Amino acid sequence: MRQMLNTLFVTTESAYLSLENENVVVSDGDKAVAKVPLRSIESILCFSYKGASPALLGKCCEFGVSVSFYSPRGRYLCSILGESNRNVLLRRKQFVLADDASACSSIAASFVIGKIYNSRWVLERATRDHALQVNVERLKRQSSILASALKEIKNCDNAESVRGIEGQAAKTYFYAFDDLILNNKDDFYFERRTRRPPQDRMNALLSFVYVLLSGDCKAALQGVGLDPYVGFLHADRPGRASLSLDLVEELRPALADRFAISLVNTKAISPNQFEVRENGGVYLNDAGRKVVLAAWQKRRNEQITHPFLREKIPWGMVPYVQALLLARYIRGDIDAYPPFFWK
Amino acid sequence: MNMLSEDDSLSVRSTVRPVEYPEDDWLALSGVQHYEFCKRQWALIHIEQLWTDNARTVAGDLEHKRAHDYSASEKRGDTLILRDLRVFSKMLGVVGDCDIVEFQASEDGVQLHGRKGKWLPYPVEYKYGTSKTNNADRLQLCGQAMCLEEMLSCHIDEGALFYQRTKRRERVEFSEELRAQVVNAFADMHELFQRGYTPTVKNQRGCSNCSLKDLCLPELMKAKTQSARAYIDSIVAGALEEDLR
């Protein structure tokens, strides 16, 4: 499988990125603080407000290095990726399928089957690994409701009911989510999902991790030539990267939720690495973001065996491989889109 | 040297195809070597517009740089050496670049724009590594010769492949068999291109060296023994069974 190279995270708010020969130079004020060869990285995630030089961006496109910009607080702004979207037949087929109700429901079902299956395993893993600490009965009950949702989806023939089951399953899953938090319960707790803004630390952490995962998914889809804005599970809405959201769904439990939970349970992240704003919104602070990004990069390098391809790949390649499998399904090489089943 | 195997068709197929392809429909001449290596690889590159480099392709490019420098064209005695010469054929519907075309001063030759005397063209293509067992390089060279013939109204008997590893020239005779293969290959490529069809995966030995391996996913073929649909069904069924226990 393709080699995964490093990601360069730039978290200093006032950093500016520029090009020197084939290196990216990170400077803060007049001082160059880092110099990294472009050939050694595959993406740059930039959380500074100063941005990057056009010359660097041009070179990145040439080298196939994707550059994503976020606000210093972690809001996604944009990505730049070279001319990879030349596969016009793939995109045309994607659009045709997105207009075809039965194709939509079949692909949407795959995403949701993946999501429910993986959600269920997150709960099951907790009962297995922490039987003495968690409410096993509640987790088992929620897990079995999720199992019946899987059954239900098999008899589903339209995307609307797939979405309905997905909504119910998400509620079922999050109902037991607080049980997964084992440490610092006074500061880390979960009642329900809040996003705009996140109203507690756990939600703040989840939101930030989802942003990272979404960025990976979007770059992966673009990288294989799919249009991230035309989805199957999520309907078109101007400005919404629906296909990215589709792909995020199945990867959320295994790649994001478990990651966030383990940061809390291992005490890698601490309550004082968050800040509360006037509007009641809770966000990671500078130190917190650094912890999460470093751990994220480490997690991305961990090896797993892809369940469908049966090939060893780093975690970080999962969105890319799934995007590739989706493209291969859309081009007619396989008879269904196989979601990523985590175990 | 003739490397044709017995089952290669020796005649030009009689399917209806245009006498001349319009410029917009011309394909890359160099694509024939991809096509000969693997039809799917050709389709991924030329139809699906996918490309990734690996060590081999980068090394090939580096070795190739000088060959593609028109300004390095020169005249040595009776030989005119043109580098990076763009050639095309309306009949084949292809366009490409010859690394080198050597023109020998000869009474039997053709006139060239801006040059005195008459010249006989001799195409030479630079290739990475050593001579290959498949016919890909010979087909590409023959295609170049057929372009030159059409452009210059002449006949070219042979050309050469220069392998960078061995630094040896391998003479290639443009036989009727080889020409027929070129014609057929391009006719098939035009047909696939028209349909926008990417042939399915056929696992072969060359797969491990292919720079597109990760985009092509030859493993799909293995995975296909159980279909993706069956795979999903079995995983879901397994999940439900566990639940019963």
Q: Domains of chain B by range and CATH? A: 17-199 (3.90.320.10), 215-244 (no CATH)
Q: Measuring CA to CA, which residue among B66, B99, B223 is closest to residue B169?
A: B99
More confident residue, B64 or B162: B162
Q: Please give, rounded to a whole number of angstroms, the shortest distance from the CA of B109 to a CA of chain A.
A: 43
Residue B81 near residue B102, CB atoms below 8 Å: yes
pLDDT at residue B116 in the model: 82
Helices (DSSP H) in B78-131: which residue ranges? none
Mutation target for B interface from A61, A121, A331: give the one with most B CBs within 10 A: A331
Task: Enumerate residues 195 to 224 of chain B having a beta carbon within 8 A of any beta carbon in chain A.
Answer: 196, 198, 200-201, 214-215, 217, 219-220, 223-224
Nearest CB among B215, B228, B242 relative to A336 is that of B228
**Which pLDDT tens digit goes with each residue over A242-284?**
899 999 999 999 899 999 999 988 888 887 888 878 777 888 8
More confident residue, A172 or B14: A172
Residue A321 near residue A309, CB atoms below 8 Å: yes
pLDDT at residue B9 in the model: 46
Nearest CB among A2, A90, A336 relative to B229 is that of A336
Chain A residues in contact with chain B using a Cβ-Cβ cutoff of 8 Å: 1-2, 86-90, 110, 113, 117, 120, 143-144, 147, 150-151, 154, 224-225, 307-311, 324-325, 328-329, 331-339, 341
Q: What is the mean pLDDT of chain A?
A: 85
Beta bridge mates, A37: A23
Assembly ipTM = 0.75
Q: Please give, rounded to a whole number of angstroms, the shortest distance from the CA of B242 to a CA of chain A.
A: 9
Do residue A334 and residue B201 have CB atoms under 8 angstroms apart? no
Rounded to the nearest 10 degrees, what angle do helices A201-223 and A286-301 cross at?
A: 50
Least-confidence region, from A39-43, A337-341, B41-45, B156-160 = A39-43
Q: Count CB pairs under 8 A between chains A and B.
A: 82
Least-confidence region, from A11-15, A337-341, B193-197 = A11-15
Q: Please give, rounded to a whole number of angstroms, the shortest distance from the CA of A192 to a CA of chain B.
A: 26
Set of chain B residues whose Cβ sits within 8 Å of the Cβ of A152: none
Least-confidence region, from A198-207, A309-318, B47-56, B92-101 = B47-56
Position A338 confidence tier, pLDDT thresholds 50, 70, 90: very high
φ/ψ bin of B118: left (φ > 0), alpha (ψ from -120 to 50), beta (otherwise): beta
Position A1 confidence tier, pLDDT thresholds 50, 70, 90: low
Using CA coordinates, name the residue in chain B closest to A150. B236
Residue A56 near residue A36, CB atoms below 8 Å: no
Q: Please give, rounded to a whole number of angstroms, the shortest distance from the CA of B202 to a CA of chain A.
A: 11
Mutation target for B interface from A88, A89, A140, A148: give the one with most B CBs within 10 A: A89
DSSP assignment letter at B207: G
More confident residue, A273 or B71: A273
Q: Please give, rounded to a whole number of angstroms, the shortest distance from the CA of A203 to a CA of chain B.
A: 29
Q: Record the tokens describing residue A176, joined without a space.
A: 């037991």
pLDDT at residue A273 in the model: 80
Least-confidence region, from A101-105, A259-263, A331-335, B18-22 = B18-22
Position B1 confidence tier, pLDDT thresholds 50, 70, 90: very low
Q: Which amino acid is at A16?
A: Y
Position B5 confidence tier, pLDDT thresholds 50, 70, 90: very low
pLDDT at residue B29 in the model: 93
Calculate what percentage of chain A has a pLDDT beyond 70: 97
More confident residue, B76 or B245: B76
Position A3 confidence tier, pLDDT thresholds 50, 70, 90: low
Residue B89 pLDDT exceeds 70: yes
More confident residue, A167 or A183: A167
DSSP assignment letter at B71: G
Q: Looking at residues A280-297, what average pLDDT do you find?
A: 85
Instruction: Please work out, in degrees rounded to the nearest 5, the angle formed at the alpha carbon of residue B29 by the alpha carbons of B28 and B35.
Output: 90
State CA A336 to chain mean position distance.
22
Q: Looking at residues A40-48, what average pLDDT do you find?
A: 84
Q: Does B1 touch chain A (CB under 8 A)?
A: no
**Which pLDDT tens digit goes with each residue over A221-239?**
887 889 999 999 888 787 7
Position B186 confidence tier, pLDDT thresholds 50, 70, 90: very high
pLDDT at residue B224 in the model: 55
pLDDT at residue B138 in the model: 92
Residue A188 pLDDT exceeds 80: no
pLDDT at residue A224 in the model: 83
Residue B237 pLDDT exceeds 80: yes
Residue B63 pLDDT exceeds 80: no
Q: Following DSSP, what letter does each residue of A20-72 receive, concatenated? A: ETTEEEEEETTEEEEEEEGGGEEEEEE--SS-B-HHHHHHHHHHT-EEEEE-T
| pTM as predicted | 0.77
Q: Please give, rounded to a whole number of angstroms, the shortest distance from the CA of A140 to a CA of chain B.
A: 9
Position A64 confidence tier, pLDDT thresholds 50, 70, 90: confident
Q: Measuring CA to CA, which residue among A232, A96, A256, A240 is closest to residue A163?
A: A232
**Which pLDDT tens digit goes with each residue over A14-40?**
889 999 988 999 999 888 888 989 888
Position B223 confidence tier, pLDDT thresholds 50, 70, 90: low
Instruction: Please work out, in degrees rounded to the nearest 5, the angle formed at the alpha carbon of residue B182 by the alpha carbons of B90 and B165.
Output: 115
Using CA coordinates, name the residue in chain A closest to B237. A151
Residue B145 near residue B161, CB atoms below 8 Å: no
Instruction: Please work out, in degrees rounded to the nearest 5, the angle formed at the alpha carbon of residue B191 by the alpha carbons of B139 and B132.
Output: 20
Q: Looking at residues A302-329, what average pLDDT do you find?
A: 88
pLDDT at residue B7 in the model: 45
* Euclidean distance between CA atoms B219 and B209, whole angstroms: 14
Position B19 confidence tier, pLDDT thresholds 50, 70, 90: confident
Least-confidence region, from A186-190, B97-101, B215-219, B226-230 = A186-190
Cα dihedral sign, A192-B244-B236-A151: negative
pLDDT at residue B12 in the model: 52
Q: Record the tokens describing residue A260, joined without a space.
A: 């966030």
Residue A149 near residue B243, CB atoms below 8 Å: no
**Which pLDDT tens digit goes with each residue over B93-137?**
999 999 889 998 888 888 888 788 888 999 999 887 777 777 889
**Which pLDDT tens digit goes with each residue over A69-116?**
888 777 778 878 766 667 888 899 999 999 998 888 899 999 999 999
Beta bridge mates, B81: B74, B102
pLDDT at residue B68 in the model: 65
Residue A94 near residue A230, CB atoms below 8 Å: yes
Query: Taking the CB of residue A289, how many other CB atoms lie within 10 A of it?
Result: 20
pLDDT at residue B3 in the model: 45
Do residue B228 and residue A334 have CB atoms under 8 angstroms apart? yes
Nearest CB among A1, A88, A225 relative to B214 is that of A1
Task: Enumerate residues 34 to 63 of chain B having a beta carbon within 8 A of any beta carbon in chain A.
Answer: 47-50, 52
Q: Looking at residues A302-316, what average pLDDT do you find?
A: 86
* Residue B60: partners with Cβ closer than 8 Å, 6 or more residues away: B128, B129
More confident residue, B183 or A179: B183
Q: Looking at residues B137-154, what average pLDDT do you find?
A: 92
Do residue B236 and residue A154 have CB atoms under 8 angstroms apart? yes
Nearest CB among A151, A331, A337 relative to B228 is that of A337
